[in-house]
Amino acid sequence: MNNQAASMQAVPAEANAPLVEVRELHRVFDLSKRWLNRVLEGSGKVVLTAVDGVDMTIRRGETYALVGESGSGKSTIAKMVVGLLPPTSGTVHINGVDIWGERGARQRQMRRKIQMIFQDPFASLNPRWRVGSIVAEPIKAFGLIADAHDRQARVGELLSLVGLDPLDAGKFPHEFSGGQRQRIAIARALASEPEFIVCDEPTSALDVSVQAQVLNLLRDLQERLGLTYLFISHNLAVVRHMATRVGVLYLGRLVEEAPSRELFSEPKHPYTRMLLDAVPDIGMEGVEREPIAGEIPNPVNPPPGCHFNPRCPHVMEHCRTTVPPLCEVNQANVLCHLYEGGALARPYGI
Amino acid sequence: MNPTLSVKNLRVEIPTRRGVLTAIDDLSFDIAPGEVLGVVGESGAGKSITGSAIIGLLDPPGRIASGEIRLGKERIDNLPPSAMRRIRGNRIGMIFQDPLTSLNPLYRIGEQLTETILTHERMSAKAAWEKAERLLIEVGIPAAGTRLSSYPHQFSGGMRQRVVIALALAADPELVIADEPTTALDVSVQAQIISLLKRLCKDRGTSVMLITHDMGVIAETADRVCVLYAGRLAEIGAVRDVVKHAQHPYSLGLMAAIPSLSGNPDEKLEQIPGSMPRLGAIPEGCAFNPRCTYAFERCRMERPAVYPAGASRASCFLHDLAGGQMPPTETLRRAEADGILLTAPAGEGGR
């Protein structure tokens, strides 16, 4: 495994303390055929490096967005951060607790503070449970409210918090539209009083007019309850609207990380520029754009050196051999040879 | 000039046990030669059903209940299946969302392309193979000659969609119906496919009906756009007019609800309350009235026709001030302030 992206400790001391700290996170999937087939066919092991040394720090009250195309490792990171998938190596600390190191009561206590909202609200709600039971489950599971009456009241409270009627608790999920189901999923996530919510493509299964409702609701709840989000999306316009800090993933590596404003006004990594250029946007109507060449390569066999080198318009000789170092430019961290040594603040025209 | 495709008062019904659902209700539009018409709407608005109705592939029990569809001068909505089969592929090309399901995994790309070419054109197998190679070169597949003998799984998603485009254009159709052609693709690839489709159709003078839910794709590709809501036409007009100066309250709300790369990220998104009604539960009068902030008495009783509205045409009573009941002055004032261009003066203190 590469030892790139040394460590990113240069976090400026700010009022907001880090809530989530991810260090040197790796995840490798073994895609090899069975042992006997390998022997007979003389083929070796095949591994896919889904996440390759990712460092992130998410501060309290922040919305950290991960963007990237399919196969870049967004969802794998999300699963490792919430504790659904063990990392191959690396650590995830939430509130100072190592979620993969702790066991027992302390882990349980900490798990309560993490919740997840999934992409497809048609798959994430049990169709045979009433909405009330769905929302009450985390409360029961963590033993938060013992009295059934109080619990019911709390469910009603949660439902009205996400803009549903408390009486909806008696209905089944199929009686709701996609947007309303996503609200139910949000109410369920809020039931255990979490501090940190991972939203994995929360609106990509929804229609535009409903997407706006859910995005606004998420922002509202963040303000009211002081939540911290890890927001995963492939839609850059949505990310721009939600995030305070953005990380751009390419084949398992965080190629650029910056405050949202800076990333969108002054993208640094050639891949980020390419992505921003490629988004069809209603504001850019009538503008002819240069389409980008190539597609994301097969993650089983990524190009050596910088993974982006075959598609990069600024590729240099050593990009093809050496993994680029992490460079700090303004408030951004960029994984690119162009910014090496801090010499180039702006390597090419902006 | 005669339109390539003309749809008039189309009505598609789906009989079910609980009664007949109207999936498309009184929909009319034209596509001029060489024009790209975008069809947008949320899921369930009837975009794909419109496409299926035109190519005669409505899933039974769905059926065209009334109206007519003309391709050039010929009426095609009442043709027998055998005649329709000759039109599909030959005069209307189709591109579907998922390139993996529109290609047969057991046949080489070359075989699939030559089969399509030979079905519609009389030529030797060798000439067809050469034409297939030319098509692949045209859609930008490197090493086209050798790629003809590859199987679909050996192509990446974007390359597969290029092959599907080559298939759709194989018989030089007059019209291409592209149903969500880029939805299954990544952003960077999506941009490539859009510009390819646009370029090819422009070069050949092919008309395109582009069905998508992504307003960004429409804004960059289409010449005109038709906004559907609950199976009915909400607004139709030039892309620039509809995106920048939408005249129907629904399209106006829809445009404001889309997060953009140029807007202010600190501002909240505009949102339309509620969601689109299900087919069985479309409200009386205007289908949009329960979600509309400008709705008045008439909207709840009567169904609006399509009226000229600014530079486009919208199906909304705010644009029919000449006839019938007037909306309250306060509503008119609000609509005007939001950029809806009213046809008649909005009372004395309208501006």
CB A74 within 8 A of CB A66: yes
Q: How far is CA B314 from the centre of its chain?
A: 16
Residue A169: the pLDDT is 92
ipTM score assigned to the predicted complex? 0.79
Residue A2: the pLDDT is 40
Residue A187 DSSP SS3: helix
Distance (Å, whole) CA B283 – CA A101: 56
pLDDT above 50 for B154: yes
Q: In chain B, which residues have their Cβ closer than 8 Å to the Cβ of A259?
A: none
B271·A212 Cβ contact <8 A? yes
pLDDT digits (tens, 9 = 90+) for B14-60: 998 888 999 999 999 999 999 999 999 888 888 889 999 999 988 88
pLDDT above 90 for B185: no
A278·B190 Cβ contact <8 A? yes
Q: How many CB pairs under 8 A join A and B?
A: 138
Q: Token digits for B326?
A: 């007037």
> What is the domain partition of chain A in residue ranges?
3-16+57-65+86-233, 244-280+288-350
Mapping DSSP onto H, E and C, the string for chain B reads: CCCCEEEEEEEEEEEECCEEEEEEEEEEEEECCCCEEEEECCCCCCHHHHHHHHCCCCCCCCEEEEEEEEECCEECCCCCHHHHHHHECCCEEEECCCHHHHCCCCCCHHHHHHHHHHHHCCCCHHHHHHHHHHHHHHCCCCCHHHHCCCCHHHCCHHHHHHHHHHHHHCCCCCEEEEECCCCCCCHHHHHHHHHHHHHHHHHHCCEEEEECCCHHHHHHHCCEEEEEECCEEEEEEEHHHHHHCCCCHHHHHHHHHCCCCCCCCCCCCCCCCCCCCCHHHCCCCCCCHHHCCCCCHHHHHCCCCCEEECCEEECCHHHCCCCCCCCCHHHHHHHHHCCCCCCCCCCCCCC
Q: Is the peptide bond before B61 cis (omega within 30 degrees of 0)?
A: yes
Which amino acid belongs to residue A102? E
pLDDT digits (tens, 9 = 90+) for A135-156: 999 999 888 888 999 999 999 9
% of chain B with per-residue pLDDT over 90:
40
* Interface membership of B318 toward A (CB under 8 Å): no
Average pLDDT of the residues in A115-134:
91
A 57-96 residues with CB below 8 A of B?
Answer: 69-70
* Residue with the larger pLDDT of the pair A62 and B156: A62
Mapping DSSP onto H, E and C, the string for A105-156 reads: HHHHHHHCCEEEECCCCCCCCCCCCCHHHHHHHHHHHCCCCCCHHHHHHHHH
Q: Which of A254, A114, A118 is nearest to A193 (CA)?
A: A114
B261·A69 Cβ contact <8 A? no
* Interface membership of A9 toward B (CB under 8 Å): no
Residue A78 DSSP SS3: helix
Strands of chain A, DSSP E: 18-30, 47-59, 63-67, 89-94, 97-98, 114-117, 196-200, 228-233, 245-250, 253-259, 326-329, 332-335
Residue A289: the pLDDT is 62
B254·A286 Cβ contact <8 A? no
pLDDT above 90 for A33: no
A283·B271 Cβ contact <8 A? no
* Residue with the larger pLDDT of the pair B280 and A263: A263
B133 pLDDT tier (thresholds 50, 70, 90)? very high
CB A229 within 8 A of CB A238: no
Average pLDDT of the residues in A229-248:
92
Q: Which of A138, A151, A146, A150 is nearest to A108 (CA)?
A: A138
CB B222 within 8 A of CB B206: no
Q: Token digits for A165?
A: 């009627």
CB B269 within 8 A of CB A212: yes
pLDDT digits (tens, 9 = 90+) for A322-348: 999 888 888 889 999 888 866 554 545
pLDDT digits (tens, 9 = 90+) for A159-179: 999 989 999 999 999 988 888
Average pLDDT of the residues in A225-253:
92
In this complex, which of A209, A240, A286 lies closest to B259 when CB atoms are compared?
A240
A188 pLDDT tier (thresholds 50, 70, 90)? very high
pLDDT above 90 for B332: no
Distance (Å, whole) CA A265 – CA A350: 9
The mean pLDDT of chain B is 88
Superfamily of domain A3-16+57-65+86-233: P-loop containing nucleotide triphosphate hydrolases (3.40.50.300)
pLDDT digits (tens, 9 = 90+) for B199-210: 888 888 999 999
Residue A242: the pLDDT is 92
A286·B240 Cβ contact <8 A? yes
CA distance A288 to chain B (A): 8
Distance (Å, whole) CA A296 – CA A250: 8
The mean pLDDT of chain A is 85
pLDDT above 60 for B211: yes
Nearest CA in chain B to A276: B261
A108 pLDDT tier (thresholds 50, 70, 90)? confident
Q: Which of B247, B229, B226, B335 is nearest to B287 (CA)?
A: B229
CA distance A117 to chain B (A): 20
pLDDT above 70 for A10: no
Average pLDDT of the residues in B118-128:
90
Q: In chain B, which residues have their Cβ closer than 8 Å to the Cβ of A69?
A: 186-188
B187·A69 Cβ contact <8 A? yes
Residue A284: the pLDDT is 56
% of chain B with per-residue pLDDT over 70:
97
Q: How far is CA B53 from the centre of its chain?
A: 12
pLDDT above 60 for A13: no
Instruction: Sheet with A18-30: list strands edge to edge.
Output: A47-59, A18-30, A89-94, A97-98
Residue A211 DSSP SS3: helix
Q: In chain B, which residues have their Cβ closer than 8 Å to the Cβ of A219?
A: 268
A 245-264 residues with CB below 8 A of B?
Answer: 260-261, 264
Residue A62: the pLDDT is 92
Average pLDDT of the residues in A32-47:
83
Query: A250, A266, A285: which to substitute to probe chain B, counting the most B Cβ within 10 Å?
Result: A285
Residue A209: the pLDDT is 81
Distance (Å, whole) CA B87 – CA B85: 5
Nearest CA in chain B to A297: B156
CB A69 within 8 A of CB A230: no
B220·A280 Cβ contact <8 A? yes
- CA angle, corner B271, sides to B333 and A267, nearest 5? 115
CA distances from A131 to A159, A177, A180 (A): 9, 13, 11
Residue A76 DSSP SS3: helix
Residue A126: the pLDDT is 93
B344 pLDDT tier (thresholds 50, 70, 90)? low
Average pLDDT of the residues in B249-270:
86
* Interface membership of B190 toward A (CB under 8 Å): yes
The single-letter DSSP state of residue A12 is P
pLDDT digits (tens, 9 = 90+) for B57-76: 888 888 999 999 999 889 99
Residue A287: the pLDDT is 56
Distance (Å, whole) CA A234 – CA A69: 6
A292 pLDDT tier (thresholds 50, 70, 90)? low
pTM: 0.84
CB B235 within 8 A of CB B307: no
Q: Token digits for B8?
A: 């008039």
Q: Token digits for A74?
A: 């967004």
Residue A3: the pLDDT is 40
Residue A41: the pLDDT is 83
